[in-house]
Amino acid sequence: MFSHIKELQYNAKPSQPDAVYAKKLQEILGGQFGEISVMMQYLFQGWNCRGNGKYRDMLLDIGTEEIAHVEMIATMIAQLLDGAPAHDQEQAAQDPVVEAVLGGMNPQHTIVNGLGAQPNDSSGYPWNARYTIASGNLLADFRANLNAETQGRLQAVRLYEMTTDPGVRDMLSFLIARDKMHQNQWMAAIEELEQTQGAVVPSTFNPEYEKQDVAYSFMNFSEGEESSTGRWANGPSMDGKGTFEYVQAPQANGQKPELTPAPAFIHGTPPGQAELAQDMPLQTN
């Protein structure tokens, strides 16, 4: 069960309208790494969590907090749009708000949303559930969560640099700090799970079914050898079960990819026809 408190988790009030910045702020609301994505990702991971009470509780704690962050950003966007509709382009020279509308505002903020936020990114692309991950393997999911918070904090910091509005910066400073906590949270949970599950996901797969001769080989498939000096190419592997090996010139060990001809009902090109066409003289008029 969810309930709503009619107060924001933190202030979300700009110092003045800025319709152009409202469009930019849509990215951390409805973008791939925005608050809607992490909200849905954490909640579904929690709802799908089986037999791990403390992790389920933690996921629902943070997922519910992200609902609050969605509300904060949506409120900020709406207030940035206050006074934004353009009634007359001639007003632009006298009214900086109207000038902003005509110079880069998202027109859907006015036409579709009535001066409100939308579940879209900064380019107007609709939020997509495929942005979210809920695999049922907590270690795999928590690593995805760490990436989401890393990208989200990066984008929030970039947006912070794009405005001088003290009210907007105040809200972003709160969200940036929460993203720091959430990164630390996922790193702590990952470390805890790795102590019992190991570093490689999934840990339950029988290693006898793996090709062990390539399980710890870093293969140089591009020009240059700078990668040979990395931690991933030398020394003990991160799971503690092997030793990294650097392979300078990987060899092909598979068969030639030659496919059998398709049956007649496919109406493909019969074998030999392509080669025959290359040998035929070019017809000119």
Binding residues: 35, 57, 61, 66, 69, 149, 182, 220, 222, 224
Q: Give the residue carrying structure tokens 């009634």.
A: 87
CB-CB contact of 55 with 137 (8 Å):
no
- Residue numbers in the known binding site for Mn(2+) are 35, 66, 69, 149, 182
User: 246 forms bridges with which residues in the sheet?
Assistant: 218
CA dist list (Å): 273 to 270, 276, 278, 283: 6, 5, 9, 17
Please return the burial class of 243, using the count of CB atoms within 10 Å of its CB with bins 0-12, 13-18 and 19+: exposed
3-class DSSP state of 183: helix
- Residue numbers in the known binding site for Ca(2+) are 57, 61, 220, 222, 224
CA dist list (Å): 231 to 116, 191, 223: 49, 19, 19
CB-CB contact of 41 with 145 (8 Å):
yes
